[in-house]
Structure 1
Amino acid sequence: MAIKSFKRYEKKYLLNKTQYDLLIPKILNYMEFDGHCKNNTNYNIYSIYYDNDNNDVIRHSISKPYYKEKLRLRSYKITKNPEDIVFLELKKKINGIVNKRRIVLTFKEALDFLEKGIRPDTNDYINNQVLNEIEYYLNNNNVHPAVFIGYSRKAFFAKDNHDFRLTIDSKILTRRYDLSLESGHFGEDILDQNQYLMEVKILGSIPLWFTRILSELKIYNTHFSKYGTEFMNYTKEQLNIKRREQLC
């Protein structure tokens, strides 16, 4: 097992196809592709988000509280066997600062922990601290797999500062059925056609060269949550179903 901990600010932007096409060559003057982007291609991310029957986790999150947290199980490929590597993450946001606690497990270890309460065996102090946090969350929140969210990602690091990271996501597909990392990438796309979600992840200030590019291309900061958008779409769909039933 291994652990990573992240603490940063995140800013989000929605791009159209023209902005996207103009942006990439400009940022490549200052940035380089993430190691996951082999031969400059996109890579995929698959996540299962955990919530309760009343969707209290995401309801609380979209209310813009001072503190919020989400639990998710993530993979960078479609899991094929119990020994495939997955990432169990507790993502917290405190007054706008994102803190992500992550532990790397086998798929079997993760499911045994989440579904049966069987704690992975480790002698590492930091790994145990993260497991303690996730175990506490599970004991105090009656959550279960609620939503699948998968997408295609292109990622970059600044050449002179790897703490400045940029990701661009497309084909953000979601579903509330067949909630398994083994089932593949399908569902409802929450982005409009030819639309992209760009996220800037920073520890300090945004570089001046990047703000100039944003200004030139008229790209503006926005509020966008993948899970939040999925939930709003789901809520509208449920209301429409009820209205149709009342008319029958």
Structure 2
Amino acid sequence: MTVQKVFARSEVKYLVSDKQRELIENEMLRWMRPDEFGRSTVRSLYYDTPDHLLIRRSLAAPVYKEKLRLRSYKQADETFPVYAEIKKKYDGVVYKRRCRMTNAAAEAYLSGGWQDGPYKNEQEDNTLDAQVMKELDFMLSRYKTLAPAAFVSCEREAFYAVDDHEFRITFDDNILGRDTDLSLTEGIGGLKLLPDGQSLMEIKAG
């Protein structure tokens, strides 16, 4: 399976009740299909400065904002592949760059302890990964005090349009967040970020 590493798309989020979700899913299944992975647990480790500069900027809803995270779809160990991702939003369009490496390599890289050798053995696309790495390097140099700041997990169901796989709708529930045990090797758990009976629906169009 080809791993998509570069995205440019519009994303819109809605908070929906269980009843609204059921109605929406029943309607959209006429022209959409469930993602091949089915219901999955998404784990994200967000990086920020000690004074939470990135999240404060994001909450201010500027024209441009950016975030840095590690993401996995299972509880990781040191050798488990995860994604190092930069996500930027400018004028309503989301740009995402990511590269895949082991969790140990990703944590070392984002903490400044990067060793070039291990990563070379993991590369799948030298040209594209090199460009993504340059963008990661620039962000790390711009915000020199970035460190793990928040762990967020959710249960996700994803769907894609039959005639356009770039058009996707996801539903996230059981969204949990915490600011302790900040590693993808830790289990899920934390403060519930949504009331019972609600989901976060996101529409994504390339």
SS, match of residue 199 in structure 1: strand
Tell me how many residue pairs correspond in the alignment: 197
Structure 1 residue 96, shift from structure 2 partner: 0.8
Q: Percent identity?
A: 39
Aligned pairs (5 A) from 1:66-85: 66-79=63-76, 81-85=77-81
Task: Provide structure 1 residue ranges, at least 5 long, that are not aligned to the other structure.
Answer: 204-248
Q: Which runs of 5+ in 2 are unaligned?
A: none
Provide the residue aligned with 1:33 in structure 2: 34
Question: Any idea what the Cα deviations from partners look like across 1:158-186, whole Å, max 9, x if unmatched?
Answer: 11111110000000000001111111110
Say what the alpha-carbon RMSD is for the aligned residues.
1.3
Q: Quick one: distance in 2 between partners of 1:103 and 1:64?
A: 27
Pairing 1:149–2:146 present: no
Deviations 1:60-101 (A, max 9, x none): 11111121110000000001x321110000000011100000
TM-score normalized by structure 1? 0.77
What is the correspondence of 1:42-191 to structure 2 with a 5 Å cutoff? Answer: 42-79=39-76, 81-115=77-111, 116-119=113-116, 120-121=119-120, 122=123, 124-141=126-143, 142-191=145-194
1:3 Cα deviation after fit:
5.7
What TM-score comes out, normalization by structure 2 length?
0.92
Question: What does the per-residue CA deviation read over 1:35-67, in whole Å, with 9 as the maximum and x for residues that have no partner?
Answer: 111xxxx10100100001110001111111121
4+ residue runs over 2 A deviation: 117-123
Question: How far, CA to CA, are the matches of 2:40 and 2:94 in structure 1?
Answer: 23
Bigger radius of gyration among the two: 1
Are the equivalent residues in 2 in contact too, given 1:166–1:199 (CA < 8 A)? yes
Alignment of 1:216-235 (within 5 A): none
Counterparts of 1:34 and 1:51, CA distance in 2: 31
Equivalent pair of 2:46/2:149 in contact (CA under 8 Å): yes
1:7-62 residue CA offsets vs partner (Å, 9 max, x unmatched) = 0000111111111122222111110011111xxxx101001000011100011111
